[in-house]
Amino acid sequence: MTSLKAASPEDLADPRGPVTPEQTQKAEELKADANKYFKECKYNDAIRLYTEAIELNPTLAAYYCNRAFAYIKTEAFGYAIADAEKAIELDPSFVKGYYRRATANMALCNFKASLRDYRTVVKRAPGFADGRKKLAECEKIVRRVEFEKAIEFDDTERSIVDQINLEAMSIDDSYDGPRLSQTPEAALPTATKAIDVSFVDGMVAWFKDQKKLHKRYAYQIVMAAKDIFTALPSLVDIQIPQGVRLTICGDVHGQFFDFLNIFELNGRPSPTNWYLFNGDFVDRGSFSVEVILTLLAYKWLYPEAVHLARGNHESTNMNKMYGFEGEVKSKFSDMMFKLFTETFNALPLAHVVQDKILVVHGGLFSRDDVTLDEIRAINRFSQPPTSGLMCELLWSDPKPTPGRQPSKRGTAIEFGPDVTEAFLKHNDLDMVIRSHEVKDGGYSIDHNGKCVTVFSAPNYCDTMTNLGAYIHVTADCELSYHTFKAVPHPANVKAMQYASQFNSFGI
């Protein structure tokens, strides 16, 4: 596989000869226009104009650094690293090159690589306050990772559940929120659950008022859902009965009020109104706890009607960087975060709907002969690896041209329409539905209609102005697409509020 740098659109040298004064002037004009787009959060337009400027004048490190920053904003961290490295090659003294590379590596959780660059930034620009701040934070993260690695031990047979004592979690009379039945489910009448619709409705209303669920009930919900997921295969088959509609949603990323708006527009989950949420429930948005507890409560209530797939953000490294860990520890505890981690490890990786539609968070694979049985056989009960089928299911993206290439994200691959066609034919499928990418219109139909992206977090991170979308699927495999706008959320709670201080990257 070729390197990202080798796949960059610019060669290391300009074969056309010296840059003319006219090209220099035009490139500066393009850069200025690109900067305006960047300030308006129109990052793809900015990338397009920075690229045009680079094509006219490929000798200026600043152009590559500006484009790298725009790539970071669009989560194309692999491309950002390639551009930063090009800037450093052109001008080894250009501090922003090291700073941008450090930023992108932090986003990919490549902490030690980032640390080296932050040290270079501080050494060469000691007065750069933000550089010193980021260096200190990066050092702290590296120390914590090394400490956690030093104290970890192999205890694969023991679950955090063994350390949770629900009976010791007394509920004070002053708590006036929703309450679950305290009768053990095993002692309840047949077909009766400790959870019911009135509890979930009350919990949602409680969350809308920015109130916290009692920890005992939160633990009960997560543990019940974890048991359900653990019993499932890595690939789940969904058969939609006649008279039932399945709604497939993409990333919601902790945007609780937009998430609830889906239910307002489309109806709440029920035995006839099924849902499949296709990963990335948490991180970035600052109501991730409320989103995931609501989803897990519905899974417990309607296990056949509510389906959840793992996304790349249902992982510890992402949660440490992008806010979920900080939010859980702020609202509950470290033990609760560990329970969520175990539960995320149990989430299925893929679904097949009506034997014809593969639904995965990221995408397809670096080889052609992958079968559904291979996906079913994946041992998913771990943190996602950095290569292989599980990694590619969570991280890959489609591209418009044939073939495969390293991902713009720096992890997994990008796959073309021919790859999609071959996979579908090999597995007797009709199409792939995936998520993982912001789309201005909420969804995108690519690869001759055989690869659809759906994204359900409108105005992503309060900055992207995109629509959200969801897809209806009937028992006859008829699809319809629906878009929606963002709704207001409490102004005092910003996106990335609980993230590492690296949230100033805006990623």
Residue 230 has what pLDDT? Answer: 98
Q: Measure the CA angle with vertex 147, ends 146 and 148; round to 5°.
A: 95
Residue pLDDT, tens place only, 170-226: 999 999 999 998 766 655 555 568 899 999 999 999 999 999 999 999 999 999 999
Which of 313, 361, 436, 447 does the annotation list as catalytic? 313
Question: In the CATH hierarchy, which fold is given to the domain comprising 4-151?
Answer: 1.25.40
Other C-beta atoms closer than 10 Å to the C-beta of 45 total: 16
Identify the pLDDT of residue 158. Answer: 81
Q: Which residues contact 430 (CB under 8 A, 6 or more apart)?
A: 356, 357, 424, 450, 477
Question: What pLDDT is stored for residue 36 in this prediction?
Answer: 98
pLDDT for 292-345, tens place per residue? 999 999 999 999 999 999 999 999 999 999 999 999 999 999 999 999 999 999
Q: Which letter does DSSP use for residue 215 in this model?
A: H
Catalytic residue flag (residue 313): yes
Q: What amino acid is encoded at 132 in this protein?
A: R
Q: Please state, as a whole number, how many other Cβ atoms lie within 10 Å of the Cβ of residue 22.
A: 9
Q: How far is CA 232 from the centre of its chain?
A: 22
Residue partners of 222: CB distance under 8 A and separation at least 6: 293, 296, 336, 339, 340, 343
Extract the residue ranges of the chain whose pLDDT is less than 70: 1-16, 152-157, 183-192, 501-507
Return the pLDDT at 477.
Answer: 96
CATH class for the region spanning 232-501 = alpha beta
Q: Where are the domains of the chain?
A: 4-151, 232-501
- Pick from 373, 421, 371, 413: nearest CA to 392: 413
Beta bridge mates, 352: 237, 358
